[in-house]
Structure 1
């Protein structure tokens, strides 16, 4: 089964995970869950999706994952895996076709180090829009984000590659993409104006089939984000 509308507290649990597939517990607008959806699509893995209301989480979901996090994977045998980098690496190991992580240990370590550095960038995508909405002075945060994006731009320029780790999309590209998809909706897209190589990277990513399959239009992101910051997150926005 795959669902669009989210399951909330009091809902009936979905049936068992069918043999030959894997289940993703997700939320339509969660960038961390989108990481797993990108990998599932890119690798052509047979799967179903169960969306979760993250404010009113079903008891049956908390029994599977007491932390209540998405993405969460569940196998037909009942194994449960969560945390976005872990779920994505698991998928790449268990389903060997269309490998996204390099086999070379050093190259794999480089991707993990880059992801660790990128994790320090992610908070800015939230702090700046929220700060602006609250009337705060976010100029220092904006300067820091520009600096961090400039480093990514320099990485691409120095590497002379189309993507973060070479001339084809690999895991690190999918791990970074969801927040760039949301830049327009968060009114941050102008930060790419001073990073031409990074801007080209976003344009290439938009042509990727997995990105096209998992993305939302900017207006849809804006609609959800508006409901979220108003304290009334509409997880079924647009359905």
Structure 2
């Protein structure tokens, strides 16, 4: 499907209607939350188009779709709008029922949601530590806390004795936590994975996945974008 690679900002014309038989994703190329939805769209082979948004200078028409001004946002040909990354991913899994990513068993599904809650306590460190470093602050305490949280995830995987967090094939939970691990080196946090042998094996296996390969950027593009982001002038079109 046609996608607007370049981001649309304030004053831009709204895109036309969503084509029939397709779903539209409003995204930002480097956003890890929108990355979750991109992974699910690719993993399930869902026909979609993508409109990238300038998150520093949002178009008014986008704020009408999501007053929070955040990505990801999904829009259907009927004009239905869904946002928040876990909600968009669950929605896609229900509506496009072939190749389900969430388990059918209610207990197993609940386990994935619990694990996602556990992981949501880790994501702030991906921002806190680089920002503190940039301000010349001591980050050793934050890094220790992050190491402990990653060790806990590693133990969960070790107890399961499976290749992925939901079993021996990739399921929703793997895609929900992957975007941050893809960026861990860019954030300069790979050393926080010390002592997490199972998690490291999981990361290697994830890198072989077709949806992961289809949605990732070369590390020099990530690094270039994050440099502009850290300087307070994010170039959302970096590398285009």
Normalising TM by the smaller chain, what interval? over 0.9
Residue matched to 1:68: 69
Residue matched to 1:146: 147
Q: Distance in 2 between matches of 1:64 and 1:159?
A: 41
The structural deviation recorded for 1:175 is: 0.2
Does 1:26 find its partner at 2:30?
Answer: no
Q: How do 1:75-114 and structure 2 match up within 5 A? A: 75-114=76-115
In the alignment, structure 2 segments of 5+ residues that lack a partner are none
Q: Distance in 1 between matches of 2:191 and 2:199?
A: 12
Contact 2:147 2:194 in 1 (8 A): no
The structural deviation recorded for 1:219 is: 1.5
Residue matched to 2:48: 47
Report the RMSD for the aligned CA atoms in angstroms.
0.7
In the alignment, structure 1 segments of 5+ residues that lack a partner are none
Q: How do 1:145-164 and structure 2 match up within 5 A? A: 145-164=146-165
The structural deviation recorded for 1:192 is: 2.1
Q: Distance in 1 between matches of 2:218 and 2:152?
A: 27
Contact 1:193 1:199 in 2 (8 A): no
Residue 5 of structure 2 aligns to a residue whose secondary structure is coil
Residue 197 of structure 1 aligns to a residue whose secondary structure is helix
Q: Distance in 1 between matches of 2:186 and 2:172?
A: 24
The structural deviation recorded for 1:83 is: 0.1
Residue 74 of structure 2 aligns to a residue whose secondary structure is strand
The structural deviation recorded for 1:220 is: 1.2
Q: Distance in 1 between matches of 2:239 and 2:96?
A: 33
Q: How do 1:184-203 and structure 2 match up within 5 A? A: 184-203=185-204
TM-score (norm 2): 0.98
Moved more, 140-149 or 183-192: 183-192
Q: Distance in 1 between matches of 2:124 and 2:187?
A: 13
